[in-house]
Amino acid sequence: MNILITGGTGFLGGHLVGELSRTFKTVYVLSRQQNLEKFKHISNIEFITGDITNLEVIAFEGKVLTDFLDSVDVVLHAAALYDLAASHSATFLQNVVGTQNIMHLLNSMKNLKSFYYISTIAVGDPDTFFLEENQLPVRSNFTDAYSETKYLAEQIVRENPSEKFVTRIIRPGIIVGDSVTGKMPKIDGPYYFIKAFEKYAKALKYTPIVPLSFNPRAKLPIIPVDHCARFIRLLIERDDFKKALKTYHLVSSESPSLDEFLGDLNNMVGAKTYYFAVKENKFHNSLLKLLGIPDEVLPFMFSRLSYDKTSTLEDLPEINESTYSSFKHILFGRS
């Protein structure tokens, strides 16, 4: 069995390559560069030159191309642009156009058995209460380019199921650092809070009450990157290729509510501040911005969403082993 991974050079992709190289004969990594230092220790890896934003994704031609395409059994599309500084059109090009081009490439693979698409939990509408696994909510209001383009991309994947292979959509939660080493290459999601709290730790110690615009019951759907990669490997291994389309929510169990999370942050800096929750308003939102919390985190602060995990639990009971309490030390232990 051979697997083709896109986005293997990314944060989650790097972990995925490491995980999957254990079970697959060859791991093809689609990337613009060749021979990355990062994967030197893996022997069964092969780099495929290509760019998902091109109409013809893979740069090969003729028989080399067809031979390669025929040898692929599983495709894992993990490439996405997640960069707050990037423009809307660049994000669109990578996420939507890239996915549609990959979808077109799949049609020419004769022996393809399954297509794994890494979506995101951010496709859920934060104004609703429940994100179901097996459907994409109807949504038209987006606050940031990332969730909008990922939504459009999942729409493309979901609306064009193939008869030749099965499609699996995986929606990981907010990905945090490695649960063992705590490594996190960039600041993201909850790390913004950690950074802000570290910065204002002294002030917080002397402030008994802070009004903050947030929903205390909002759940933070986080998952450590190594857990996420392992679960995806398990899902690929266990696939029976029967049902045409399945969706999984990869979110750690016992994911903390914002109230709990802020309590943990208090513990981290040794403060005893009470956070007074006020409704979402422009003034407090700009206050959050001053603290260094970007716009794209805001939906998670007011979200009332809970996440359906029915089919995830069916195929992946291990998801319960990944609990917040088991890895929270890596979030707060980091300095």
Partner 1 sequence: MKTILSLAFAQDQYNFDEEIEFFGEVYRVIQYSTNFDVELTENLIKKYDGQCDVICITGIPQKIKFKKGFFLHPDTYRLKTAAKHTPIVDGQIIKDVYIPYALRLYYLKHPQFFSKKKIGFYAASLNIGFVEPLSEICSDLVMADPFFIMKLPFNLHSARSLEKFLKILSPILKAMKVQKKFVPDFDNDSKFKSRALDEFLGCDILVGNEANINFLNLSHLKGRTLIIDIVSPQLEKKLQDSGLKEALICLPQLSVYPKINYSILEGLIQIKKGVGTIVTQDDVIKLVEEVKLSPTVKTFYEDIEEVTKFSFVIHPLSRSFLFTHPYAKYIKKYSRPLGKLTEDLIAFSPGFYYGKIDGIVSEKNGRKVEGLIYTVTETPKKLMESKPDVIYRKILKLCEKADAAGSKIMGLGAYTKIVGDAGVTIEKLSPIPVTTGNSLSAASTLWAAKLAVEKLGFVKKIDGQFKGTVMVVGATGSIGAVSAKILALSWDKIVIAAPRAYKLMELKEEILKINPKAKVEVSTDADNYSNICDLIITTTSGQGKTVLDIMKVKPGCVICDVSRPFDIKEEEAIRRPDVMIIASGEVTLPGDVDINIDIGLEGNIVYACLAETALLAMDGKFESFTLSRNINYEKVIEIDRMAREHGVKLSQIMGHSGFITDAEFELCKEHAMVKLERPKKREKHEP
User: Could you say whether residue 16 binds partner 1 (CB under 8 A)?
Assistant: no
Measured from the CB of residue 287, what is the shortest distance to partner 1 in angstroms? 27
Choosing from 21, 31, 101, 255, the residue that interacts with partner 1 (CB under 8 A) is 101
User: Could you say whether residue 92 binds partner 1 (CB under 8 A)?
Assistant: yes
Measured from the CB of residue 100, what is the shortest distance to partner 1 in angstroms? 5
Q: Which is nearer to partner 1, 87 or 281 (CB)?
A: 87
Measured distance CA(292)–CA(257) in Å, rounded: 20
User: Could you say whether residue 42 binds partner 1 (CB under 8 A)?
Assistant: no
Site string for partner 1, 120-159 (x = CB under 8 A): --------------------x-----------x--xx---
Best CA proximity match to 168, nearest among 76, 252, 86:
76
Q: Which is nearer to partner 1, 101 or 255 (CB)?
A: 101
> Restricting to residues 46-65, which ones interact with partner 1 according to CB under 8 A?
53-56
Residue identified by tokens 């990062």 is 38
Measured from the CB of residue 6, what is the shortest distance to partner 1 in angstroms? 16
User: Could you say whether residue 109 binds partner 1 (CB under 8 A)?
Assistant: no
User: Could you say whether residue 310 binds partner 1 (CB under 8 A)?
Assistant: no
User: Could you say whether residue 96 binds partner 1 (CB under 8 A)?
Assistant: yes
> Restricting to residues 175-204, which ones interact with partner 1 according to CB under 8 A?
none
| 99 close to 117: Cβ distance less than 8 angstroms | yes
User: Could you say whether residue 97 binds partner 1 (CB under 8 A)?
Assistant: yes
Which residues form the interface with partner 1 (CB under 8 A)?
53-56, 87-90, 92-93, 96-97, 100-101, 103-104, 140, 152, 155-156, 160
